[in-house]
Amino acid sequence: MSAAVWRVLRRLGVSLVTLLGAVTLTFFALRLVPGDPAFAILGAGRQQVDISPEVLAVVREQYHLDDPLIVQFVLYLGRLLSGDLGTSYVQEQPVSALLVAQAGPTLALALLATVLAVVLSLVGAVLTAGRRLPSWISSALELVLASTPVFWLGFVLMLVFSVWLRALPIIDGGDLRSLVFPAVTLALPTAALLLQVLRQSLDDALEQPFVLTARSRGLGGLSVTVRHALRHAAIPYLTMLGFSFGALLGGAAITETLFSRPGLGRLLVESVASQDIPVVIAVVLVSTAVFILVNTVVDLLYPLIDPRMRERAATGARR
């Protein structure tokens, strides 16, 4: 048991170090921008807008720009730890307040899209694995969906269902119905990737001896797939799920812009346009933290699914 705890702690440690690295990278990236960092933070780096000396002084004070770089960095970390993500000088309010206001819609969108992608890929893979023609059709469909730009997919869906069939509203009305389009748009490419991986590993699993054993006990095709092969295929599937969550976060920015939905992604895009750098950095850090968190959870789930990994982890920890 202690080996398991140790393993979890170790994994969390790695994630924290990675997150710290990401924070460090964003901090120093800002300093790579040519010119006065105060101007970069204020978003006037390239526009040469007149900024009053008072505002400049406030920024210099807040970011301790007159101190040595290392002191700036440590103070910056301290502020991040206390939840202070800085101030948006364009919107004139704390960045954290902006984030909190926009996090809900993105969370709903990402969750629904993930659930949709998982359901679609599970059903698709179970129904097509080990069957020649359905597999072929499904893999062609996966290729098309994985190659389609998210924003274009959204267009086509809008065109077909709203403009031609008039089944769903285009404009976001704030209700659950208006979440359907963006979520489906976001889910389809992810579902295609997941389906590819899952069918591949299901096909591999179905060739294993234990499947033959199960069949010889009189189990039918589908129940073998569901009861035995699926568990076998879970690890690569989860890895892909964690990995594709990053694409989902990027896709959220596109989907939210396309459907004019509120959310973190749209906040990011708008902040880039208005050169609101503190907000940009905050959204980047938050999405990276979420991405790291998701992948940490995926990693920690492995031993729960595969008993062999539990043993390996235990022996590995003792070494």
Within 8 A by CB and 6+ apart from 250, the residues are 265
274 vs 305, beta carbon nearer other proteins: 274
Question: What whole-number distance in Å separates Cα of residue 254 and Cα of residue 182?
Answer: 10
Q: At its nearest, how many Å lie between other proteins and the CB of residue 89?
A: 14
Contact, 274 vs 43, CB < 8 A? Answer: yes
* Residue 58: exposure state from Cβ atoms within 10 A (0-12, 13-18, ≥19): middle
CB atoms within 10 A of CB 152: 12
Q: Which of 233-249 are b and which e, b meaning 16 or more Cβ less than 10 Å from the residue's Cβ?
A: bbbebbebbbbbbbebb
- Report the SS3 class of residue 319: coil
Q: At its nearest, how many Å lie between other proteins and the CB of residue 85?
A: 15
In the complex, which residues of this chain contact other proteins (CB under 8 A)?
17-19, 21-22, 25-26, 29-30, 32-33, 40, 46, 143-144, 146-152, 155-156, 158-159, 163, 245-247, 249-251, 253-254, 257-258, 268-269, 271-273, 275, 277, 280-281, 283-284, 287-288, 291-292
The dihedral region occupied by 261, where left means phi > 0, alpha psi between -120 and 50, and beta the remainder, is beta
Contact, 316 vs 31, CB < 8 A? Answer: no
Tracing tokens 């590995």 back to the chain, one arrives at 316
Contact, 186 vs 248, CB < 8 A? Answer: yes
116 vs 280, beta carbon nearer other proteins: 280
151 vs 302, beta carbon nearer other proteins: 151
Question: What whole-number distance in Å separates Cα of residue 77 and Cα of residue 21?
Answer: 11
Q: At its nearest, how many Å lie between other proteins and the CB of residue 281?
A: 8
Q: At its nearest, how many Å lie between other proteins and the CB of residue 309?
A: 20
Strand partners, 93: 88
Question: What whole-number distance in Å separates Cα of residue 248 and Cα of residue 291?
Answer: 10
Contact, 186 vs 252, CB < 8 A? Answer: yes
150 vs 233, beta carbon nearer other proteins: 150
Q: At its nearest, how many Å lie between other proteins and the CB of residue 260?
A: 10
88 vs 271, beta carbon nearer other proteins: 271
224 vs 276, beta carbon nearer other proteins: 276
62 vs 257, beta carbon nearer other proteins: 257
Q: At its nearest, how many Å lie between other proteins and the CB of residue 212?
A: 26
Please count the residues of the chain: 319
29 vs 115, beta carbon nearer other proteins: 29
Q: At its nearest, how many Å lie between other proteins and the CB of residue 237?
A: 19
Q: At its nearest, how many Å lie between other proteins and the CB of residue 7?
A: 18
Question: What whole-number distance in Å separates Cα of residue 246 and Cα of residue 251?
Answer: 8
